[in-house]
Structure 1
Amino acid sequence: MVATSYLLGVSTRRVDKLVEQLGVAHISKSQVSELAKHLDGQVEAFRSRPLDAGPYRFVQADALTMKVREDGRVVNVHCLLAVGVNGDGHREILGLDVVSSEDGAGWRAFFRGLVARDLSGVRLVTSDAHRGLVAAIGAMLPGASWQRCRTHYLRDLLTFTPKSSQPWVATLVRTIFDQADANEVAVQFDRVVDALTEKLPRAAQHLEEAKADLLAFTGYPREIWRQIWSSNPQERLNKEIRRRTDVVGIFPDRGAIIRLVGAVLAEQHDEWIETHRYFGLEILAKVDTANTPSDTPEISVTSEALTA
C-alpha cells in the first residue's frame, strides 16, 4: 500500500494517515522511500531492456531538473529522458538516466547506452537547442537529423523582440507551420524573414540562421508534422512526472529519483503499447520510401542555436 501510494504521488502526510488506520503510529519520508524499494528490480529491468522493437525512426529527448541531497547539501541533478516511435508505430520510453550536469558528456553516455541496447534506424531527433544534447545527437546517432522544437525556438526568438512586437512576431512565425506542403513552408519562411527584416532585423537574422534546424520536419509526410516538429508530446509526459515528483520535493538520493520516475515511465510505456498506434504502418512505410538514410541531411547547428 505504501509503495503504491508513493508511485501515485500521494504525499507522505496522507500516507501517514493511511498507515495509522493499519495500526502504525507514524511513517517518515525516508521510511516511505525504503518501503518502495521493492520497485527497484522492476524499474532496472525496464531501464535495461533490449530495444528490439525498432527501427526507431523518430526520437524525442529532454531533461528535467530534480533536487537531491548529496554530501549534506541539496543539489540539482538532471533526469535525461528519451521517447521513440518503434517499428510497429507505438511510442516507447527508450531510456532514463540521472546525471550531475546536462552537458555533452552526460548526453553522449546516455545515447551510447541506448545504442548498446540496440537503438537503431533513427532518422530524426526532436529537442530543444541545448548545446550538449545537440552535439551528442550528431556524435552518437550518425545519419540522424535534428529538429529544433518550434515551441522552444519561438520562446528564444521572442527574447530578440521588443515586448510590444511579440504578439505580431509570434503570429507571423506560426504561419510558417500552417502551410500545405514542404515547398509552401519554405516559401512562407522566406516571406516571414523578409517581413521581419524591415522592422526587426536582429530577429530576422536569428530566424534565418535557424532555418535548416527548424524545417527538418518537412522531409517527412505531412500527416505526422504535428508530432515531430516540436517536443510538446514530451512536455505532456514531463507534466505527469512533475505531478508525481513535486510531492517529494527533495529526494534522499539519486536511486529514489530513478525509482519513482522510472516507475512512472514504465507505467506510461505499458499504456502506450496497449493503446492505438502513434503512427500508422502506412505512414512509416512512406517514411522508409521517401526518406532513405542517404537523403538525410547531417546535423548542422548554428552558433545562435547552441547559445539560445
Structure 2
Amino acid sequence: WIGEAEGAKFWLSVCNDLKNRGLEDILIACMDGLKGLPEAIKTVYPDVSIQTCIVHQIRNSFKYIASKDQKEFMKDLKSVYKAFNEETALLNLDSLKEKWYQKYSVVIDSWYNNWSNLSTFFAYPEDIRRIIYTTNALEGFNRQLRKYTKVRTVFPTDESLRKSLYLSTMKIIEKWNSPNQNWSATLGQLTIMFGDRIPKNYII
C-alpha cells in the first residue's frame, strides 16, 4: 500500500483491503506505535491482541535519558520487560518509578500509559514472546527492500514503485528457507491458546 500519510484512515483502508482479500483473522499484531494503527486493526479484527514493540519503546525512552544515567537506567528497565510474568514486571516498574520518576517522569509515564499494549507478550510462553516482542524481523525486511530501491530516488508513478517493491520482495523471499527456531512447538502452543481460530489444516 502506498499513501501520502500514515493515520487512522489510511490504516483502516489497509485493514479493510486485507479483510476483503480473504484475511479472516489476526491473532497477534506487533507494531511500533504508529498513530491510528491499533484502533484500525481492532475495528476490523476486534479479537486481535496488540503488542507494541519493546525495542521501539526502549529507543524512544532513551532519547530523554542523560548519557551518565543510561547504563544504570537500562539495568533497572531490563527487570521490567524481562520479568517472567506481568505481575512481577509491574512491581519492577513501580520500583523504577520510585527511583527515577523525579528525573525522568516523561519516560516513566510513557511506560505506564502504554502498558496495556506493551505487556501483551507476558501472556505467552518464551518461544512466542521472542517472536512478538519486537518488529525487528520486519525492520530487516524493510532494510533489504531499500537496497533495491535506493538506486532510484524518483519513481514516475505509484504503480512503478509498487512493481519495483514486488519484484524486490520476490528476490528477498528466495532466501527464506529456514523455519523459525522451535516453530513446531510454537505452533502447538498457538493452537492450544487460540483454539478454533487456527484452522485444523493449517500448515507452515
TM-score bin (small chain): 0.7 to 0.9
Q: Deviations over 1:147-199 (max 9, x none)?
A: 11111111222234344433433333233233344544444333333332354
Q: Which moved more, 1:196-205 or 1:152-161?
A: 196-205
CA displacement at 1:259 relative to structure 2: 1.0
Q: Does 1:99 align with 2:11?
A: no
For 2:162, the equivalent position in structure 1 comes to 258
- The residue correspondences of 1:36-51 to structure 2 (distance < 5 A) are none
Task: Confirm whether residue 168 of structure 1 aligns to residue 77 of structure 2.
Answer: no
Tell me: higher relative CO, structure 1 or 2? Use CA pairs within 8 A at least 6 residues apart.
1
Question: What's 2:188 paired with?
Answer: 285
Partner of 2:151: helix, strand, or coil?
A: coil
Alignment partner, residue 48 of structure 2: 144
Question: Which of 113, 117, 122 is matched with 2:17 structurally?
Answer: 113
Change (3 A) 1:111 1:198: same
1:260-281 CA distances to partner (integer Å, 9 max, x unpaired)? 1111223334543x43246623
Separation in structure 2 between the aligned mates of residue 200 and residue 101 of structure 1, nearest angstrom: 31
Q: 1:285, CA displacement in angstroms? A: 2.4
- Whole-Å separation in 2 of the counterparts to 1:242 and 1:165: 35
Whether the aligned pair in 2 keeps the contact of 1:196 and 1:203 (CA below 8 Å) is: no
Q: Structure 1 residues 289, 186: CA separation in 2 closer, same or farther (over 3 Å shift)?
A: farther
Instruction: Check conservation: 2:144, 2:172, Cα contact below 8 A.
Output: no
Q: 1:164/1:124 Cα in 2 relative to 1: closer, same or farther (>3 Å)?
A: same
Q: How far is 1:137 from its partner?
A: 1.5
- Give the counterpart letter for 2:191 in structure 1: D
The aligned counterpart of 2:179 is 276
Amino acid of the residue matched to residue 246 of structure 1?
K
- Residues 180-259 of structure 1 mapped to structure 2, 5 A cutoff: 180-197=84-101, 199-259=103-163
Which protein is bigger by CA-based radius of gyration?
Answer: 1
Q: Residues 221 and 287 of structure 1 are in contact (CA less than 8 Å); yes or no, is this contact kept in structure 2?
A: no
Give the alignment of 1:9-28 within 5 angstroms: none
**CA–CA distance in structure 1, aligned partners of residues 65 and 74 of structure 2:** 10
TM-score norm. by structure 2 comes to 0.82
Hey, what's the Cα distance between the residues in 2 that align with 1:253 and 1:267? Answer: 22
In the alignment of these two chains, the number of paired residues is 197
Long gaps (5+) in structure 1: 1-96, 295-308
| Residue identity opposite 2:42 in structure 1 | G
Structure with more helix by fraction: 2
The question of whether the paired residues in 2 share the 8 Å contact of 1:194 and 1:204 is answered with no
C-alpha distance in structure 2 between counterparts of 1:99 and 1:288, whole Å = 35
Alignment of 1:129 with 2:40, yes or no, is no
Shift of residue 258 of structure 1? 0.6
CA drift at 1:110: 1.0
Q: Classify 1:120/1:196 alpha carbon distance in 2 versus 1 (closer, same or farther; 3 Å).
A: farther
The alignment partner of 2:50 has SS state of strand
Contact 1:123 1:293 in 2 (8 A): no
Which 4+ stretches in 1 moved above 4 angstroms?
A: 291-294
Q: Verify the 8 A CA contact 2:127 2:182 in the aligned structure 1.
A: no
Counterpart amino acid of 2:46?
P
CA distance in 1, matches of 2:190, 2:100: 34
State the percentage of identical aligned residues.
Answer: 18
Aligned residue for 2:39, secondary structure, equals helix
- 1:5-45 per-residue CA deviation (whole Å, 9 max, x = no partner) reads xxxxxxxxxxxxxxxxxxxxxxxxxxxxxxxxxxxxxxxxx
* CA distance 1:215–1:136, shift in 2 (3 Å): same
Bigger strand share: 1
Q: What SS does the aligned partner of 1:126 have? A: strand
DSSP-derived class of the 1:131 partner: coil
Query: What secondary structure does 2:97 align onto?
Result: helix
Amino acid at match of 2:171: E
